Chains A and B, each alone.
Chain A
C-alpha cells in the first residue's frame, strides 16, 4: 500500500513546490516508485520545477472528469524512471476538484506506486484541504518567521481534524516539520526565529532544516529538482530529509553558522 504524503504550509512562497519536487525525486532515486501531484489547479508550477512543462498533455482535472486515463496524464521523468508527475490544470480553478474525484485518482495511484507526494496549494481552501484529506504523512513546510509559523499551526489543526483519518477515527496523520529558507547568520543577528523557537511553538518532529540557498532558485529556473544538485547545501539537506523520512538516522546540519574555527566549535557546545 502506498504512503500518501502531503506537502503543506498554509502560507504561500515558503517552498512547498521546491520541497515536493525534491523529496519526490529523492524517494524515486532511492528506488521507490513515486508519483508527485500538483494540486495547485489554476497556478500550475510543479511541471516547471520538475522541468517537464513541455510534455504536459492531460492533467489532474482531465483525469478527475474522466477525459483522460491516469496513465495518459502521468509524465515519466527523464532523469529517473521511478518518478512520475501528474500536473495541475492551468485553465481551471480549484472548484474543478471533488473529494470523490481526488479519492479515486489517489486510490488508483496507490495500487501502482510506493509513495504519492501531493503538492498542496497555499491557503486553507478547497485545493489545500483536498490535497491533505487522504494523506498518511504530512510535511509541514515552515519558514523561520512568525506568520509562517502561525499558518503552519493552523494547518496542523486542520490536519488533525478535517482529514479522512481524523473523520474515520483512524491513527492520525504523521506530521513532520521542515524548516526551509533557514539562515543561521540571520538567526544569530536575531532577525529570524531559530530552530528551537519554531519547535517550541509548533512542538513537532523536525525532519530537516533546508538552508536559504542560491541553488534553490537556480534549480527552479532550470527545471532540475534541487536534490539533484549534490554539491549544493540545499540539495544535501533535502537528501538528509529523504533519508530521515525513510528511517535513517542522520545528524541535523545547516543549523549553525559554517566555517567556525576549532575554538568556536569547542566553546559553542552546550
Chain B
C-alpha cells in the first residue's frame, strides 16, 4: 500500500478552471484625441450613469492601428478609470501599446478577426443603452432574478432577461436587454429589448404599468386600453406596433 498522501475520492477539490463566455462592452476609438473621446464618452455615460458605473470595458485598437493612428494607451486607461469604468483588457494593440497596458495590469486579449467594421463608422462603442439593432449582444448575457418588491424610485437593469418575482411599484423603472417577466403587479415602467432587440417581450401577471416599451417603441399608461388592464398579459412587437395580448 502506498504511504504517500492521497486524495480520497470523496475529498472535494478546492478549485476548478472553466472556460466561460461573457458579453463585455468594447470601446473602439476612432481618434487618438483623448479630449474628444472623453467628451463623447461622458455624454454616453450621462445617458445611463447606472449602466456604466463600474462597468468592465475592453479597449479595441484594431481600427486605429489599421489607419496607423497611435493612441496613448496609459492615458486612455487612466481616462476610463476616471470615468468610473473598469478596463479589463486591450486587443488589437501594437507591441508597445500592449506593454503599456500590461504595466497598468491590463492584459492583452487576442483579437477576433470576424468582427464587422463596415457599419460602425460613427459609433464610439458597441453597447450603448439606447434603441439600436444589436440583438446578438444579449445572447450570452445572463438572466437577472429579483425576489424583493421593486420600490418607487428604484431602477433595475439586466443585461439579459429580467425576472421579478414580486411587484414593481409605481415610480420605479425596470430595464432589460432581453425579456421582462413580472410575477406580481406591474405598476412602474418596464422597458424590454433596451438595446434594440425587437424580439424581446414583456410578461406580467397584472398590468397597471406607467409605461411599457420594447426596443424603444413605447406606450404610456393613458394609451393602454381598459380591456388589457389589471390582468395577465404579454406584450410584444409586431411591425413596430406594440401588441398586448391576454395570457
Interface size bucket, B side?
10 to 19
Nearest opposing residue in chain A for B185, CB measure: A200
Given A150-B171, A153-B171: A158 touches B153 (CB 8 Å cut-off)? yes
**Residue contact B151 to A203, C-beta cutoff 8 Å:** no
Let me know if B166 is at the binding interface, CB within 8 A. Answer: yes
What 0/1 pattern do residues 200 to 231 of A give for CB contact below 8 A with B? 11010000000000000000000000000000
The residue of chain A having its C-beta at the shortest distance from the C-beta of B154 within the complex is: A157
| Interface pair B167/A203, CB less than 8 Å apart | yes
B195: Cβ under 8 A from any A Cβ: no
CB neighbours of B154 from chain A (8 A): 157, 161
Q: Interface SS of chain B: helix, strand, loop or mixed?
A: loop
Enumerate B110-156 residues with CB–CB distance to A below 8 Å.
148-154
A245-262 residues at the B interface, CB under 8 angstroms: none
Q: Given A156-B149, A157-B152, do A150 and B167 touch, yes or no (CB 8 Å)?
A: no
Q: Which residues of B contact A154 (CB under 8 A)?
A: 151-153, 171
A203 touches B153 (CB 8 A): no
Contact, CB under 8 Å: B167 / A156:
no
Instruction: Please tell me which one of the listed residues B151, B184, B185 contacts residue A157 in the complex, with CB atoms under 8 A apart.
Output: B151
Residue of A nearest to B155 (CB): A157
Task: Indicate whether A160 reaches chain B with its CB closer than 8 angstroms.
Answer: yes
Minimum Cβ distance to chain A for residue B156 (Å): 11
Interfacial chain A residues near B148, Cβ < 8 Å: 160, 172
A9 to chain B, nearest CB (A): 13
Are B172 and A157 in contact, CB atoms less than 8 angstroms apart?
Answer: yes
CA distance A158 to B171 in the complex (A): 13
When chains A and B are docked, how far (Å) is the Cα of A156 from the Cα of B150?
9
**Judging by beta carbons under 8 Å apart, are A203 and B170 in contact?**
no
Which among A156, A172, A200 is the interface contact of B151 at CB below 8 angstroms?
A156
Interface residue count for A (Cβ, 8 Å)? 13
Interface of A is mostly: helix
Q: Does B169 contact A (CB under 8 A)?
A: yes
Interface string of A148-179 (1 = CB under 8 A from B): 00110110111011000000000010000000
Q: Are A153 and B166 in contact (CB under 8 A)?
A: no
Among A150, A154, A172, A200, the one with the most B-chain Cβ atoms within 10 Å of its Cβ is A154
Docked-complex contact A150 and B170, CB < 8 angstroms:
yes
Interface residues of A in 129-155 (CB under 8 A from B): 150-151, 153-154
Q: Which of B141-191 contact A (CB under 8 A)?
A: 148-154, 166-167, 169-172, 184-185, 187
Chain A neighbourhood of B172, CB < 8 A: 157
Minimum CB–CB distance for A247 against chain B, Å = 24
CA distance A161 to B156 in the complex (A): 12
Assembly CA distance A170 to B166 (angstroms): 21
Is the pair B166, A203 in contact by a Cβ cutoff of 8 Å?
yes
CB-defined A-B contacts under 8 Å, sample of 6 = A150-B171, A151-B152, A154-B153, A156-B149, A158-B153, A161-B154
Given A172-B148, A201-B170, 6 other A-B residues pairs in contact with their CB atoms under 8 A = A151-B152, A154-B171, A158-B151, A158-B153, A201-B187, A203-B149
Give me the interface of A with B, judged by CB distance under 8 Å: 150-151, 153-154, 156-158, 160-161, 172, 200-201, 203
